[in-house]
């Protein structure tokens, strides 16, 4: 990406931030709010189109996640008068405008930091991505690991087939979560064995093959009425496919529409009845339901002081009920279920300073992934460390908008630590083998 494109991106984000600050100063102005939402949306949408590597990349995935899970309802409200917040207290125009400004500025900050981080990491490709020496196990062991992974995925799909009859014969909302979670361990075992094959194998196209296997196996989640995992792995596969062939806009739009229709179908399958009729209604209702994470962000921002009294910031790393607390404090009336949580809502619990800190960390992580993706594209090499980094973190990135504070960021940090340990060990082994006259392995 050239300096001209970077300038366009940075200037558009700064303009959006300025308008967001203006919106905060005049929260009662509906006209300014509508104008701000449109400008903030445009500033984010132009980012993928300014990139030379196409529309599929880690940064593009962040923007997609942001739009789908926390920003979509604001757009639907402007163009189709659909509600942003459906239940609970505190639903006023001023509060809606406040949350929009917070979300828009947050997204702009992440885009700015990620672009700066990408430029920084791209100048230092030798740091980790260029190193190719590593351990490789014998072919027989590689085949055995892959076979065991396939068997585990097979057990998972068979167990998911059995769950179809349970879902059809019962009320999905009343089915014990334990019953649906049974069998997940087969997929987890298969995925971890697949990771071992990736780390210790030497087949050139194994990352693309592994992502394809995850997509096929994730059909089992659809059988259980779970859409999220399947969509995560579809986008992971799409990323690795884009490394083989450039993807144009029209096929991406077609895929997006297909995923929306699929999401609606799975919801109808769970509820045993159609939740929308007509193509337009299906698209709008599905996008509206997917954008429900904004409700958790709304509660976090508007009821911050009340929530902070019973939920400290550090407890975000030890408890998993933040979304439940937010729903209760803002009076949704849910006895079970709810809107879940959101990265943008959780970081706000720590105040402006900590929010900016975590936005910066998230931006750096995305920039690191972006530099890994760019390195593979530019060098046209099957970089082991860059591929492994993307494989292990992109699924979490896709769901950043509706995930917890510790999901994507911690996964990215822990993965980087693992890669650095592997890199340090293999560098040590390479030095030992060079002294003894050995050759690189794999």
pLDDT in tens, 376-400: 988 877 788 899 999 999 999 999 9
Q: Provide the pLDDT for residue 85.
A: 95
What is the spatial distance between Cα 344 and Cα 65, in angstroms, rounded to a whole number? Answer: 12
Token digits of residue 369: 């992934």
Q: Token match 């014990």: residue?
A: 176
Distances (CA, A) of 186 to 148, 236, 257: 11, 20, 30
Q: Which of 88, 86, 99, 44 is nearest to 292 (CA)?
A: 86
Asked if residues 110 and 363 have their Cβ atoms less than 8 Å apart, the reply is: yes
Between CA 107 and CA 3 the distance in angstroms is 21
Distance CA 225, CA 242 (A): 28
**CB neighbour class for 5 (10 Å; exposed up to 12, middle 13-18, buried from 19):** middle
- Measured between alpha carbons, how far is 212 from 34 in angstroms, rounded to an integer? 41
> Cα separation of 9 and 220, whole Å?
40
Write out residues in the chain with pLDDT < 50, as ranges. 433-434, 437-442
The beta strand positions in 10-145, using DSSP E, are: none
Cα–Cα distances in Å, from 124 out to 128, 353, 422?
9, 29, 18
Angle of helix 30-50 relative to helix 72-80, nearest 10 degrees, comes to: 120
Given this model, what pLDDT does residue 131 score? Answer: 72
| Residue 83 near residue 289, CB atoms below 8 Å | no
- Residue 250 is predicted with a pLDDT of 92
Give CA–CA dist 381/224, Å, rounded.
38
Q: What is the pLDDT of residue 11?
A: 95
Torsional class of 83: left (φ above 0), alpha (ψ -120 to 50), beta (otherwise): beta
- Tell me the C-alpha distance between 171 and 277, whole Å: 22
How far, in Å, CA of 32 to CA of 52, rounded?
Answer: 33
User: CB–CB of 423/243 below 8 Å?
Assistant: no
Place of tokens 């200037």: 11
Rounded distance, CA 238 to CA 422, Å?
27
d(CA 131, CA 389): 14
């Amino acid at each position: 990406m050239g300096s001209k494109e970077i300038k366009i991106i940075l200037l558009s984000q700064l303009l959006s931030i300025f308008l967001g600050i203006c919106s905060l100063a005049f929260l009662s102005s509906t006209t300014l709010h509508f104008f701000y939402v449109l400008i903030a949306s445009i500033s984010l949408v132009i980012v993928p189109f300014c990139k030379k590597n196409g529309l599929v990349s880690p940064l593009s995935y962040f923007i997609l996640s942001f739009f789908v899970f926390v920003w979509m309802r604001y757009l639907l409200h402007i163009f189709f008068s659909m509600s942003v917040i459906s239940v609970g207290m505190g639903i006023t125009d001023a509060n809606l405008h406040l949350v929009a400004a917070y979300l828009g500025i947050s997204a702009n900050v992440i885009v700015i930091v990620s672009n700066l981080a990408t430029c920084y990491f791209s100048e230092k490709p030798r740091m980790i991505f260029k190193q190719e020496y590593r351990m490789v196990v014998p072919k027989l062991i590689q085949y055995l690991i892959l076979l065991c992974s396939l068997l585990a995925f097979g057990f998972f799909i068979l167990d998911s087939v059995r769950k179809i009859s349970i879902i059809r014969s019962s009320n999905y909302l009343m089915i014990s979560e334990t019953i649906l979670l049974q069998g997940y361990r087969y997929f987890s075992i298969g995925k971890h064995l697949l990771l071992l094959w990736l780390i210790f194998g030497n087949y050139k196209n194994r990352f693309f093959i592994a992502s394809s296997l995850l997509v096929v196996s994730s059909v089992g989640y659809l059988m259980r009425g779970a859409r999220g995992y399947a969509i995560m792995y579809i986008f992971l596969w799409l990323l690795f496919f884009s490394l083989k062939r450039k993807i144009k806009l029209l096929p991406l739009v077609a895929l997006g529409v297909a995923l929306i229709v699929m999401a609606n179908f799975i919801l109808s399958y769970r509820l045993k009845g159609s939740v929308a009729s007509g193509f337009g209604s299906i698209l709008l209702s599905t996008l509206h339901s997917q954008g429900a994470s904004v409700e958790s962000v709304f509660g976090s921002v508007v009821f911050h002081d009340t929530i902070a009294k019973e939920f400290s910031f550090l407890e975000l790393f030890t408890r998993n009920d933040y979304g439940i607390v937010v729903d209760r404090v803002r009076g949704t009336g849910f006895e079970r279920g709810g809107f879940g949580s959101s990265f943008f809502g959780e970081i706000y619990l720590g105040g402006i300073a900590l929010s900016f800190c975590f936005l910066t960390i998230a931006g750096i992580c995305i920039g690191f992934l972006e530099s890994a993706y760019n390195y593979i594209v530019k060098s046209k090499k099957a970089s082991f460390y860059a591929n492994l980094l993307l494989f292990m973190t992109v699924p979490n990135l896709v769901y950043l908008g509706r995930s917890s504070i510790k999901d994507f960021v911690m996964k990215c940090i822990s993965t980087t630590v693992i890669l650095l340990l592997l890199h340090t060990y293999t560098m040590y082994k390479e030095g030992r083998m060079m002294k003894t006259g050995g050759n690189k392995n794999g």
